[in-house]
Structures are given as C-alpha cells and as structure tokens.
Amino acid sequence: GDRQTEALRVPKPDNPESKQGYRFDPAKIDWESLKKIGITEETLKKTKNLDRMLRGYKSRNLFRVSGQAGDFYLTPTDAKISLYTAQDGTVKFKLHGIQNDEKQLQRPFHEYKFNDKEQKNLQETGNLGEVVKIKDPKSGEQIPVFISRDRETHELEYMRADKLRIPDEICKAKITDQQKEDFAAGR
C-alpha cells in the first residue's frame, strides 16, 4: 500500500551532482591546484569529462596544461587527467602526459617482460591480445590482467581479468558464447 511505499522511498540527495557510482566526492576536489595549470571545473563539465573522472576514469580529451605546479614550472604540454585520493583525504589530479619513449615496451611492466610479438600487438592494436600475470602494486601478489596502451598518451594500463563482466548484449547485438570466451581470453 501507500504507507509501505512511502516507508521504502529513498530521499533525493540535496546535491544534484552526487550520483551513484561516483568513486570521488566532488566536494573534496582541490580545484585551486587545477586552476594553476590552466584548467577549470567548468572546462571539465563543458567537455563532459568531469562525470567520467568522478567515476574513476581518465578524461577522454587531451588538455593543454602549463603553469606553476608546486615548486615546478610546467611547460605547455598535452595530457589526460584523472583523480586520486591523497593521504589527507582530499581529491587531487594526476596528469597523464604523452609518452614518446620508444623503449617503454622493452622495460618490464609491473615485473612482466613483453616479448616481441606482444610489443608489436601493443604498438599496432593497443591491446596485448591475451591475459597475462603481473605483480599487483598494492598487494605484491601475481594477478591476471588485460594490458592495453592508451592511443593518445601511449601510457600502459591494465584491468584485472577477474573483475571482467561481459554483458549478454552490446548495442542490441547478442554476444555469443564464443565471443564471450574470446573476450575473456583477451583476444
């Protein structure tokens, strides 16, 4: 009845920006540090990157950053931006600059060494093409991951294979068991 429905109703939050699924609290963001390198909250909202970043992802767009960052002067460069929680609980920004280091793929990535075929896959497709085990930076244990390379910054990234959730349908197209199997294997 109406009484039961009213008892189960969840009140709307006062802050319209506090949506479910956010990993970071917008009220804890250090906006002043971002202004110092030439980006404002409005810029992130206009480019539709703020919501994505609050959910824990990097910005889709590259931003031109420059200015004073602490004791360092940052020369104008392009970078993607993400958020992280500092030890004092504030939310700070992390810059992901463009990496032009040709030897990047020849160095171990979390103690995993790429062979020639894997280096070629990462350069050509942006994906490793298989699931491999790396050393978890937090726990130190070996974890199965997918490794990819950002198309614009060339930064190597990983996603835990055991956290993968494959939907039954993508854009109204049914995903077959074979496709799910290929996807889970990193192909």
pLDDT tens digits, residue range 101-119?
678 888 899 999 999 999 9
pLDDT at 18: 47
**pLDDT for 135:** 92
How many whole angstroms from its chain centre is CA 23?
11
Residue 178 has pLDDT above 60, yes or no: yes
Cβ atoms within 10 Å, residue 153: 19
> What is the identity of the amino acid at 21?
G
Q: What is the separation, in whole angstroms, between the first and last Cα of the chain?
A: 51
Specify the higher pLDDT residue, 6 or 166: 166
pLDDT for 46 equals: 93
The pLDDT value recorded for residue 2 is 54
Mean pLDDT to the nearest integer, 14-31: 72
Question: Rounded to whole angstroms, how far apart are CA atoms 135 and 57?
Answer: 22
Task: Please tell me the least confidently modeled range out of 52-56, 80-84, 141-145, 167-171.
Answer: 167-171
Of the listed ranges 19-28, 44-53, 139-148, 154-163, the least confidently predicted one is 19-28
